[in-house]
Amino acid sequence: QVQLVEYGGGSAQAGGSRRLSCKASGLRYSGYCWGWFRQAPGKEREGVASIYSRAPATYYADSAKGRFTVSRDNYNTLYLQMSGLAPEDTATYYCAAGPTTQSWLCGDWSGSTYSDWGQGTQVTVSS
C-alpha cells in the first residue's frame, strides 16, 4: 500500500521561497507518475508539477513554469522547490502518485492517472 506524507508547508512572504517534501512508502510500481497538486479554498484542484519514474521527464502547469522545480532523490522523497511565491499560490498542496507506462500522462492535470494521495500540507503566502 502506497503512503505519501507531505512536509514543509507553512507561511511565506510574497516573493519568497519554500520547499515541500513528500516521503513515499510502498511505491513499487514499475513505472509511475509522482507529482504535486494544489487546491485553494473555493477552487478546484489543479496540477502543479510532476515527474515520471522511468525517464528524466518533468511536467509543469503553466502557473508553475519558471518559478517551481520538481525533483526527487534516489530513495523515496519528492521535492517541490517554490520561489517567487505570490498570494495566489496559497493552497493546500498534495503529493500524488499513480502507475502508468506513458510518461505524458504525468502532465495530465485532470489527476486521473494518480491513484494515491497524501493528506496535504498548507502553504500560505502573504503580500
Rounded distance between C-alpha atoms, residue 35 and residue 86, angstroms: 21
Query: 60-104 pLDDT, tens per residue?
Result: 999 999 999 999 998 899 999 999 999 999 999 999 999 999 999
Residue 71 grid coordinates = 525533483
* Residue 55's pLDDT band (cuts 50, 70, 90): confident
Residue 55 grid coordinates = 525517464
